Each structure stands twice: as structure tokens, then as C-alpha cells.
Chains A and B, each alone.
Chain A
Amino acid sequence: MSDVVQVSRLSIVFPSDQGPVKAVDNISFTVREGESIGIVGESGSGKSTVAFALFDSVPDPGEITGGEVTYEGGVKLFELSEEAKRRFYWSKASMVFQAAQNTLNPILRISQQIEDIADAHKMDKRAALARATELFDTMYIDSGRVLSAYPHELSGGMKQRVSIALALLLGPRLVVLDEPTTALDVISQAAVLRILDNVRRESAISFVFITHDISVIAHVVDRVIVMYGGKIVETGPVEKIVANPSHPYTRGLIASIPPLVGDLSETRALPGQPANLLNLPKGCAFADRCELKQQRCLTEMPQIRTIGPDAEAACHVL
């Protein structure tokens, strides 16, 4: 299988009054064709910044200070002209935002927004509307009503489904979903995840899920990347990560998920505060919260290394 996108040695810095903040520090990963990966971490781990970096659109005042994002066919994103990037967006890679209700232009009908996308990518407007209707049908959306509706006339779950349909409109190779279900109630959450799972099984589209809650996406991803303090601390197949996490941070993360059935006393919140990006230690960023901490964890940065089939981790103790 070929790689849809390859991120290599990516670093992103946010300047601040107290000095530069390394939001993302030298991370590399790839997404293969048809593969669905999850990037998991607490807030401040840099996961959302990575999502925007996949589009060279890190919010101000963030700045990409190093690394490369290479899409299928050797397309080096950071080297594209503005116009080339514009045509690349949405047709090759699209995004579903965390607060989908805010990603639709509030004063245009859904059909108009679809036509605007078609227009921007030289697609026939009627073909685009027909394609949208098809997508809406698979998502149990009443396309007749929704197409002529304004965003404020739709419920939150409906708007999220519409924005997923819009993301799929041009048949992209990669869809990035930033916390696609956090803003939804439990019922809509389940519905949206079922729709995404269906799309994933029926097409060769690759997905990147960004989330703080691994349990939500466990059923729709193949592989998980765990981030902490702007770095990747562990990657591996989802089954392995959930059942047998290696890195102490991942273990804490998995242990903090309340089980749907069973004894809640097994659930333990992760102690301590998320890493302070302004003041990262010389050694492992997780060391001060780690139960297995050793002397070298404080002085030496652990490098990411293979720990099993298709699995990597950055920890001295393993």
C-alpha cells in the first residue's frame, strides 16, 4: 500500500511573551492508503496544531519551523504556490472541524455553499449537488430540506453530518477530523461514528482523527499515535494500544477511561498537570507525572524506537 501523506520531522513554534512555545517538536508519521489513524493526547499536546499543519494553515501566530508534509505522488505541501495549494485543498485533502456548527457560512444556504465549492474546483454545479444528495442519503439526511436550509435551521448533529458530507464531496484521498464528535450529544455521536465507519469500509479514503478521548474513536481507527508535550510518545495498532499499552502515559490514558460495563473503581484519573510547553524539562516531558521514573528520565530525552511489530514508543524504562 502506498502512503497518502508523509509527515517528517515537523516542528511548529508559537511565539509568546515568555519566549517561543514548541507546540510540535520534530514529529514524523505516515498515513497509508485506506488507513485510519487516531492522534490522541491531552489539550496542549499539539494534536490540533498537527491537524492544521497538514494543510499548512497553522493558526496565527504559529509558525512551521521545520520538517515537511509530503502527499501522494511526492507533492511537497509547503513548496506549493498559493494557487496550487488552493486547488489541492478539499479535492485531495479535506477537514471536519471540532465545532462543525461554526464551519458553515451562517448567511448562505447549504446548497449555495456546495455550489461555491464546486465553483472553486471547476466541478459542474449540478453534479456537485447530485453527489451531495447521494452522500446525504447515506447519512440519513433529508437532502431536500437540508439543501435549501440555512445553517441555523439545522441541529448540531445535522450540521456535523453536513460538514462530513461536504468533506467527502470532491472525493479526497485524506480527511482530517478534529474532535468530530465532542460537541455532540451521545446519540448524535454514535450516529456520526457509524456513518464514518461505513465510509471508511466502503472507500479507499484515509482518515486522521484528532481526539482527546481514545475510547470514542477506538472502533473507527486502525492505528493510534499518542502525543505528549508536542512529541509522539507511542504509536501502534489500535488493538495493541487499547489492550496492552506500553508507554506509562498511554497506560495512564487507557486506565482513565471509564468502562461502559464493570467496576468504576478500576478507573483512575491521570495524576498531575499536562506538560507546560513553556517550560519543558531537559529529559522526558512526562517524567514528573510518571510512576516508573528513573534518574536518566530527568536528564536524557528518550528517543522513539521500535518496541514490537508496527509499534514504537519513546521511553527509557521499556
Chain B
Amino acid sequence: MTKLLRRLGISVLMIFLVAALTFFLIRLMPGNPYEVMYHQLLMKGMSQQQAMDQVRSIMNAIPNQPVLIQFVEWLGQLLHGNMGTSIQETGVPVTELVLNALPWTLVTVSLGLVISFFIGILLGVWSASRRNSWVSGLIDNVGSIAHAIPAYVTAVALLYLFNVVWHVFPSSGAYGIMETPGLNIPFLLSFLYHIVLPVGTYVLTGFGSWELAMKSTTITVINDDFMMAARLRGLPREKQMRYLGWNSILPLFTSFMLSLGAMFGGSVFIEGTYAFPGIGNLFATAINSRDYPVIQGCFLLTTTTIIVANVIADFAYSKLDPRIQA
């Protein structure tokens, strides 16, 4: 229990550090965007007070003040769920933009993660059971090459083949224009149809690392004494495979953190390529138009999501593996 509290404390600290990092990174930008915007507004003929208020409502910080004061102000607003307003889409709160985008990304990334995990595990066991054969070498090479090929290359290739050449899947969006988002069958079907390519890209770029990890843990476990003991105990083959499987899969939970970061990172490219209305696309667009409040919001929310997901994964791991104390 104390360990869980400690873990939560570290997570909160980490979220704070990431918040600080995003704030100061933006402040470091060439020609400090806060002041650039302030001066732009003055040029447009606003009074100093008006310009100051405008910058404050967009950026949640007062220009001209010491950086630390600005940070405290910005952080206070953040705690109230206020992340400022978008520069590009004038007046729209960043919180609204990012919260609208996040679910699309969450669903596709989770699906991609689960599917690539399962494919990776199956291939890993297969490769381990035929190690030293050419099949195993082929699976390993294909896995690591697929992992090394950038997500945008895979995305562009899939888009070209399945949209431009074969006209099988749509090139953009998360659902057809005729559907209303909600719990209705036509929408869900249209949604599933639209996410085939994005999710397929996550799977293609993600399964390789699971395959390699699973192969190496499986080979270790196969040679463990308790597997020979399980055979001599006369356990049926399915039971032996279950002993082998669980003991090989559990160590993979520790790679969860790395893969989530990589997948959300990939979403910037994947959603950009498929014009998918998720947080990665929002981030890419905001970067292109230098919409700093939105950039901050996307980065902060994504990282927070990953941190929360990690706490959940840790908790689940401690429930699944008796050797780990919660």
C-alpha cells in the first residue's frame, strides 16, 4: 500500500516536472512567443492593458513579469483545468481542443498496442520454439526491420496501396460525414472502417519489439528447471504451455512504458498522414502554425495519459506477478 502511494507521489511529481518542462521550453523559444504576441497586439493598435489581457487569456501568463511569477500563474490556471486558448482557432479553449482529440487517439493507440502485443507474443513463442532455424531468423529480422521503419513511411505506403491503388480504405477522418458520433451501429461501423489503416500502422511498427522481447524471455523460461519439472509431473502439453506463456509474458510488462511513449510519438506521424482527428494530428497542426498553447496542452495531456497508464500497468503487474509487492 505504501508502495502504491509512493508510486502515485512519484507520478504526480513527474507530471509537475513535465508541466514545468513544457512551460520553460516554450519560454526558451527564439523571440519569446509571449512577448512577440504582446508586441504584435500593440502593433494592431491595442492599448497596453488590452494587449496584456489578451496575452494573459491566451497564454495564461502575464508578459513583462518575472518568469517565476508567470510560471506560478500558469500553473494555478492549469490546476483549474485552464490551459489557455488557441491562437489559430481564436478563442477556443485548449482544454476543449485536447479533450476532444484525446479519445480518438486513446482508442486507436490502445487497439494498436493490444493487437501488436498479441501478434508479437505469438510470433515470439513461435520463433523461440524454432530457434536456430531459418524461420526464426526470418521472423526476428522482419520484426526488427518493421520496427525500425518509421511510422510515417509505413503509413504513407499503406495509404498509397489501400487508398490510392486499391480504393479499399478511406484516406482521412475518423468516421463518415453522414454519421453522428455516439453509441449507434452505423457510426461504430464507419469508425472501425476508418481506423483500419491507422491501427494497422501502429501494429506494423509495434509488433517487432514485442516479438523480440517475447522470444528472449521464452528461451530463458524454456530452459528453467520448472519447465522440465512440469514435463516430468506429467502435466498435459496445454498446461505446460500455460506455465511457459505466463512466465514469459510477465517480464514484458516492464516494457510497457517505452512502448506507450513510442506509440503516442508515432501518432504524430500516423494521424498526420491519415488526417485523423486525434491528439497527434492536433499537435502536428499546432506545431506547423506555432500555436504554443495547443502545443503545450497536447504534450502535457499526452504525457499525463502515459504516466497514468503506467501506474495502472504497474498495479496490474503487481496483481499478476506474486513476486512483486503492490
Direct touch of chains A and B (CB < 8 A)? yes
Q: Which residues of A contact B (CB under 8 A)?
A: 55, 57, 59, 86-91, 94-95, 97, 99, 102-107, 109, 116-117, 119-121, 150, 152, 163, 166
B interface residues (Cβ-Cβ under 8 A, vs A): 224-226, 228-236, 239, 243, 246-247, 250, 320-323
- Most chain A CB neighbours (cut-off 10 Å) among B229, B236, B243, B246: B229
CB of A152 within 8 A of CB of B323, answer: yes
Tell whether, in the assembled complex, residue B323 and residue A90 are in contact, meaning their CB atoms are under 8 Å apart: no
Contact call A97/B321, Cβ cutoff below 8 A:
no
Q: A55-B232, A90-B232, A117-B234 are in contact. List 11 more A-B contacts (CB 8 A).
A: A57-B231, A86-B234, A89-B233, A97-B228, A106-B226, A106-B247, A107-B247, A116-B233, A116-B239, A117-B235, A166-B233
Q: List 15 A-B contacts (CB under 8 A).
A: A86-B235, A94-B232, A95-B232, A97-B225, A102-B224, A103-B225, A105-B230, A105-B243, A105-B247, A106-B322, A106-B323, A107-B246, A107-B322, A120-B234, A166-B233
A150 to B325 alpha-carbon distance, docked (Å) = 12
Q: Which residues of A contact B232 (CB under 8 A)?
A: 55, 57, 89-90, 94-95
Interchain CA distance A87-B233 in the complex, whole Å:
9
Residue of B nearest to A149 (CB): B322
Q: Find out whether the CB atom of B239 lies under 8 angstroms from the CB atom of A120.
A: yes
A91–B231 Cα distance when bound, in Å, is 13
B-side contacts of A150, CB under 8 Å = 322-323
Chain A residues lying within 8 Å of B247, measured Cβ to Cβ, are: 105-107
Residue on A with the closest CB to B247? A107
Q: How far does the Cβ of A120 sit from chain B's closest Cβ, in whole Å?
A: 5
Q: Which of B232, B246, B250, B322 has the most CB of A within 10 A?
A: B232
The verdict on A103 contacting B236 (CB below 8 Å), with A150-B322, A150-B323, A152-B322 known, is no
B250 near A107 (CB under 8 angstroms)? yes
State which of A59, A88, A97, A106 has its C-beta within 8 Å of the C-beta of B234. A88
Shortest CB distance A174–B (Å): 12
Which chain A residues border B239 with CB–CB below 8 Å?
116, 119-120
* Pairwise interchain contact B226-A120, C-beta atoms closer than 8 A: no
10 residue pairs, one from A and one from B, having the closest CB atoms: A89-B234, A102-B225, A103-B229, A150-B322, A90-B234, A120-B235, A86-B234, A103-B225, A90-B233, A120-B234
User: Within the complex, which residue of A55, A99, A166 is in contact with B225, where a contact is CB–CB below 8 Å?
Assistant: A99
| Residue picked from B226, B250, B321, most chain A C-beta under 10 Å | B226
Contact B226–A102 (Cβ < 8 Å): yes
Chain A contacts of B228 at CB under 8 A? 57, 59, 97, 103
Instruction: Give Cα A26 to B235, complex, Å.
Output: 31
Give the one of A97, A103, A104, A152 with max B CB within 10 A: A103
User: In the complex, which residues of chain B have a beta carbon less than 8 angstroms from the beta carbon of A120?
Assistant: 233-236, 239
In angstroms, Cα B229 to Cα A59, docked, is: 12
Cβ of B250 to closest chain A Cβ, rounded Å: 7
Chain B min CB distance to A161 (Å)? 15
Q: How far is the CA of A86 from the CA of B237 in the complex (A)?
A: 9
Most buried by B among A91, A105, A107: A105
Kindly state the separation between the CA atoms of A102 and B235 in the bound complex, as whole angstroms. 17
Smallest Cβ distance from A101 to chain B, in angstroms?
Answer: 9
Contacts of A94 in B (CB 8 A): 232-233
- Nearest-CB distance from A14 to chain B (Å)? 16
List chain A residues, Cβ under 8 A from B235: 86, 116-117, 120
Chain A residues with CB below 8 A from B224, complex form: 102
Contacts of B243 in A (CB 8 A): 105
A109–B323 CA distance with the chains assembled, in angstroms: 11
Complex formed: what's the CA distance from A103 to B246 in Å?
Answer: 16
When distances are taken between beta carbons in the complex, the residues of chain A under 8 Å from B230 are: 105
